[in-house]
Amino acid sequence: MSGKVRQRATANPVDAATTTVNERILRECHSLYTDGEKGLVDIAENLHLKLLAPRKKITVLLIGNHSAGKSTFINWYVEEHVQRTGVAIETQGFTFVTSGKKRESLTGNATLHLYPHFKDLMKLEGVMEYLATEVSTSKQIKFSLVTFVDTPGLVDGDMKYPFDVDEAILWLGDLADLIFVFFDPMGQALCKRTLNIVERLNEKHSERIKFYLSKADEAGSETDRQRVMMQITQELCKRPGLNKCGFDMPTIYVPQLNVRSSRCVNQIDEICKQVEKTINQTVQNTLNTLERDCEQISELVDKKLEEDRTASSYNLRARGKGALFGFLGFILPIVLLVNFLASSVSQELLKSLLGKAGAEALQVYMAPVASFWKSIPPDYHMHTLGALFFITLVLLFLAKWSSRLLPTLSRKQKRVLQENRDYVQDSVRGRKEALYLEYLQQSVGSADIN
Ligand SMILES: Nc1nc2c(ncn2[C@@H]2O[C@H](COP(=O)(O)OP(=O)(O)OP(=O)(O)O)[C@@H](O)[C@H]2O)c(=O)[nH]1
Ligand SMILES: [Mg+2]
């Protein structure tokens, strides 16, 4: 049955187109964020906003007891024998299986370069030697958007892992889009370690976890299979952290391995659908996030420009006040001093210096200030001069203090901000709209889109 499923998945031209569109959307979104000159990540960073570029593929983490068929499932999906399989403990580390141009096996360091999101794994002692990437040239249609993470089989008891396997799986689970838990019916299914890890993963990511009864063709008769399912379900329900009573557990097997020709129902296409569904959700989420990020960038630019306008008008007022105080601080002592000197100097001297008309004019203009001086007893003239000196100092201080300016943007900075805002609002949002339309067209068809 699932042989047919697989045929359908690869040969359907609509499917092929679907994946190509999704792939292109995710790629384009990624480059809108990381593009050298006008990447959103850099634009946002200049506004002190931290954005993460979206990933181009979804990550599917496979966990389960030893020999549950995790690696075999990956090989089946990819249609290429990339992972070693067998009854022995085959997978000992973490392997990222992804599609690429050339069949290649990469080391731990290369893996972290390829998947910088997962670089925290490095902090776990001993993991690096057990980290690898297998690049497959498989043209299996959905595979171009998926990275599988194969994990070591989980066993109880004396088995010693060269690193903290539980912790590593929990970390990977934090970043995976889907977590497939494989239970096989051959006795290992109720491995405590698996249940413990699932319970802990479930605390944070219950919606990402999907359970499968793998190698279902080996489960014996229908009654045996039901019994195994019951046991696993009961065991899961006993865990307070799982709370999964009545959950769905499709039975799956790799069709080619069904040597006993078991007639058990194979729901392996459920896995393919689940992967597809997650890809579609990821595409939608990525486009929605793009819209939100554009909005946030525009708001921040507007805020910054508004702040700059406020600062500029504040500075204008500050300069005005400063100039006024400065003027007063400068002019007041001169006027008073000139008058004081003029009134203390004898009329004859003034007349000889300025002429008769000049001396009279000076007297008229200085009359108010002269009367001020006259009202002060001559003994206090020096004190008054001291006070005036003090007032002048205060005025000059006020002039300096009130003309302190707020920082403003240069003309070039403003232009760059405005350009970025226009680019984000017009260009990026325009691309986002076009991509959304393409996405919708491939799923509902153009006739339904207004
Ligand atoms: N009959 C049958 N056998 C299967 C199926 N899937 C896997 N096997 C066999 O089960 C054995 C274990 O498969 P693996 O894929 O190596 O299992 P694993 O979960 O990767 O095991 P570890 O890497 O040791 O954790 C292999 O001999 C496979 O051929 C299946 O669907 N049906
Ligand atoms: Mg394996």
pLDDT tens for 364-406 read 777 777 777 778 888 887 888 788 889 889 999 999 998 889 9
Residue type, 105: S
Of all helices (H) and strands (E), which one includes residue 203?
helix 192-205
Give 169 Cα–ligand 2 centroid separation in angstroms: 14
| Residue nearest to ligand 1 atom 14, measured at CA | 69
Give the pair of three-digit tokens for residue 441: 């067209």
Location of structure tokens 């489960």: 219
Helix/strand/coil (H/E/C) assignment for every residue in 374-435: HHCCHHHHHHHHHHHHHHHHHHHHHHHHHCCCCCCCCHHHHHHHHHHHHHHHHHHHHHHHHH
**Residue-level pLDDT at 92:** 85
Distance CA 17, CA 442 (A): 8
3 state SS of 285: helix
pLDDT greater than 90 at residue 231: no
- Please report how many Cα atoms fall inside a 13 Å half-sphere around the Cα of residue 275, on the Cβ side: 24
Q: Which atom of ligand 1 is closest in space to residue 154's alpha carbon?
A: 25
Nearest CA to ligand 1 atom 5: 215
Residue type, 330: F
Question: Within 6 Å (CB) of ligand 1, which residues are found?
Answer: 64, 66-72, 85-87, 89-91, 152-153, 215, 217-218, 253-254, 257
pLDDT at 18 over 60: no
The per-residue pLDDT for 448 is 59
For residue 92, the ligand 1 atom closest to its alpha carbon is 23
Please compute the mean of the pLDDT values over residues 206-212 and round it to a whole number.
93
pLDDT at 6 over 60: no
Angstrom distance (rounded) from CA 371 to CA 275:
97
Which of 34-48, 94-108, 433-447 has the least mean pLDDT?
Answer: 433-447
Query: pLDDT tens across 104-118, in order?
Result: 999 999 999 888 888
Ligand 1 centroid to residue 277 C-alpha, Å: 26
C-alpha of residue 307 to centroid of ligand 2, in Å: 58
pLDDT at 239: 84
Residue 330's φ and ψ, nearest 5 degrees, are -90, -45
User: Residue 7: pLDDT band by 50, 70, 90 thresholds?
Assistant: very low
Q: What is the pLDDT of residue 245?
A: 62
- Distance from chain centroid for Cα 96: 23
Helix ranges restricted to H, 210-267: 222-238
Q: Would you give the DSSP letter of residue 447?
A: G
Output the residue whose Cα is nearest ligand 1's atom 6: 69
CA distance 220 to 217: 7
Kind and range of the H or E element at 22?
helix 13-34
Nearest to 182 by CA among 154, 222, 141, 223: 154
CA of 152 to the centre of ligand 2 (A): 6
Going from the C-alpha of 98 to that of each of 20, 380, 396, the distances in angstroms are 16, 95, 72
End-to-end CA gap in the chain: 39
Determine contact, residues 346/363, Cβ cutoff 8 Å: no
Distance from the alpha carbon of residue 214 to the mean position of ligand 1, in angstroms: 9
Kindly give the distance from the C-alpha atom of residue 78 to the centroid of ligand 2, in angstroms, as a whole number: 14
User: How confident is the model over 232-290, as pLDDT tens digits?
Assistant: 888 888 888 776 666 788 999 999 887 778 788 899 999 999 999 999 999 999 999 99
Residue 64 alpha carbon, nearest atom of ligand 1: 19
C-alpha 279 – ligand 1 centre gap (Å): 26
Residues contacting residue 74 through CB under 8 Å, at least 6 positions apart: 62, 82, 83, 97, 148, 150
pLDDT at 87 over 50: yes
Mutate which of 215, 251, 253 for ligand 1 pocket (most atoms within 8 A of beta carbon): 215
**3 pLDDT band (50/70/90 cuts)?**
very low
What is the number of the ligand closest to the CA of 183?
1
